[in-house]
Amino acid sequence: MDIATEAKPEIIELKGRKVVAGRAEGEALVTTETISGWGGINERTGTVIERRHEMRGVSFAGKILVFPGAKGSSGWSAYFHMTRLNGVQPAAMIFTRMTTKIALGAVVTRVPAITELDQDPLSVIETGDWIVVDADAGTVTVTKKSLK
Amino acid sequence: MNLTDHEKAMYDGEHGRAKARAMDLLVRYGEALGAERLVETNNVAGAFNASTPSVQAIAEKGMEHVYSELNLDSDEVVEVPHMVAHTCQLITGIDNDNWELQGVDKALVDMQRANEKYLGRRGVNMFATCTPYQVGNVPVKGEHCAWMESSAVIYCNSVLGARTNVEGKESTGAAALTGRIPYWGFHITENRRGTHLVELDIEVDDMMDWGLLGYYIGEVIGEEIPVLKGIGRQPDLIKLKHFGAAAASSGGVEMYHIPGVTPEADSIEEAFGGRKLKGTFRYGARERRETYEKLQSSTEKKVDFIMLGCPHNSIDQMALIAHMLENRKIHSDVQLWVHTPRAIKQVAERNGYIDVIREAGGVVMSDTCPAISRRLPAGTKVIATDSAKQAHYLPAITGVQGWFGSVSDCVDAALTGQWNGRV
């Protein structure tokens, strides 16, 4: 292994497009699977409930949720809306696939959200990394957990 | 986002606080999408109902609180004026007549009724069905709509050639008051062309076949736009209603083309409209059987609940079920619920179909379905349904085991208490 690959950058910065304005920081929760709103989450606990989902039983409350985006019912926004009213919404959303469900859902969850990043967030970011999302600046700053 | 003078005036509050809050939501949503402008719509199908315990605390403060928070995402509580666009209520959580059988608390029923009274006179038409296109809301080709309900959206785009994205509770609430929705996605002609070809090696004919084909396509295609080749027999509303609901459940299909049948393509070439083909799938006997197996989530042959009518039944489906149940009784261990829009239930009542189903021991439900209400007869462990969508969702949502099959297999299970369905 040469020095170049060994000396990983401590901090990685990704550039993207603002979906919902604001700045948030927190621990990343990463899934490569899309998430259902209606029928896929418990809006009182912020927990994924979908059978066969890799995040089943895990709560995204207060986390920087990094995922491909939304799937399933048109009740997506209404269910994420309820997580905000119940205080169990994620701290921010970073996603890769734009749909009306995720756009409206991010808006009504009222958390900073960002997409169209210049690197794939699903491979750069791991669960547990420390993330700063500055949606207005269009940046995601990743501090790898191993170096924290 | 570029707003017209009228849109700016609404945004600035010149047409009242409700429209100002609605415009605020539409602008935030449009910018999130990356839309450049809004488009006029005069056809909104949304979820305005208050029928769940989580809404109760808000509804106690007044129905304007429910609309402001849940249909406009507004912290400011606004008086709700009359809807500007033609607007209807989709499916709800409570059957206004059969709520006791559903096991619903009376307080929730009263809340739903109070909310309907509040919104009804403001122009939200209480269709209370997932199939507004069956009861009077039939948009014409090219009409810009703002609809929720995945099975209705795919029907609207594909079969009717009208244009809608999958909207949500808040965007439909704002669209109804402003007559506007972001111009994005399926509102734009180029985004409606086919992406994948699905070639059929077998005849697809009855309703179960169409459900299987839809479920298969959703699984392999996800959110893309399939073009079907090899449909030999003309489908009808019942089959395409089931097909679309299945494709929107296993995947996120919102639009498809069947050249010669659906209105935006007379030929395969026109369906793709110059768009690059992303892939081809073949559907034959093996795919059909595998899809059928995937939809079965039960090993127990003894069934206790039969669910028919998802998406809500047409009058012809009601007639068929009544015919199958004529002078017969369902098994004493089985409950049978048949779902149809309230407007169609009136016709079925007049035709005598409701009496036949009732005398056989079944119940005709309207306004709701078990997946939306999350309510099944007490003690239900094993269900059977003729709907790929319910077979997909009910086991996941309620933890029951499920059988999927034809309507005659389901009626047979209702009469015998045993599942004997076959592919």
Report ipTM (2 d.p.).
0.94
B54: buried, middle or exposed (CB in 10 Å: 19+, 13-18, 0-12)? middle
Q: Do B169 and A77 touch (CB under 8 A)?
A: yes
Interface test with A, best of B67, B74, B165, B253 (most A CBs within 10 A): B165
Q: How far is Cα A90 from Cα A112, in angstroms, rounded to an integer?
A: 10
Question: Stretch B258-277: mean pLDDT, rounded?
Answer: 96
Domain range annotation of chain A: 10-143
Q: Which of B54, B69, B168 sits opposite A104 (nearest CB)?
A: B168
Question: For the ranges A85-89, B224-228, B392-396, which has the lowest average pLDDT?
Answer: B392-396
Closest chain B residue to the Cα of A108, Cα to Cα:
B73
Three-state secondary structure readout of chain A: CCHHHHCCCCEEEEECEEEECCEEEEEEEECCCCEECCCCEECCCCEECCCCCCCCCCECCCCEEEECCEECCCCHHHHHHHHHHCCCCCCEEEECCCCHHHHHHHHHHCCCEEECCCCCHHHHCCCCCEEEEECCCCEEEEECHHHC
Q: Give residue-wise pLDDT tens across range A94-120.
A: 999 999 999 999 999 999 999 999 999
For residue B368, the distance in angstroms to the closest alpha carbon of chain A comes to: 15
Q: Does A71 touch chain B (CB under 8 A)?
A: yes
Site from A74, A83, A98 to mutate, B interface, most B CB atoms within 10 angstroms: A74
Contact B54 A82 (CB under 8 A): yes
CB pairs under 8 A between A and B: 83
Give yes or no for residue B1 having a pLDDT over 60.
yes
Q: Which residues of A are catalytic?
A: 73
A107 closest CB neighbour out of B29, B371, B396: B29
Instruction: Delineate the domains of chain B, giving CATH numbers in brackets.
Output: 5-188 (3.30.499), 193-294 (no CATH), 296-416 (3.30.499.10)
Reported as a single tens digit per residue, the pLDDT across B196-252 is 999 999 999 999 999 999 999 999 999 999 999 999 999 999 999 999 999 999 989
Q: Options 2.40.160.60, 3.40.50.2000, 3.30.420.240, 3.50.30.10; which CATH number does A10-143 get?
A: 3.50.30.10
Q: Do A39 and B393 touch (CB under 8 A)?
A: yes
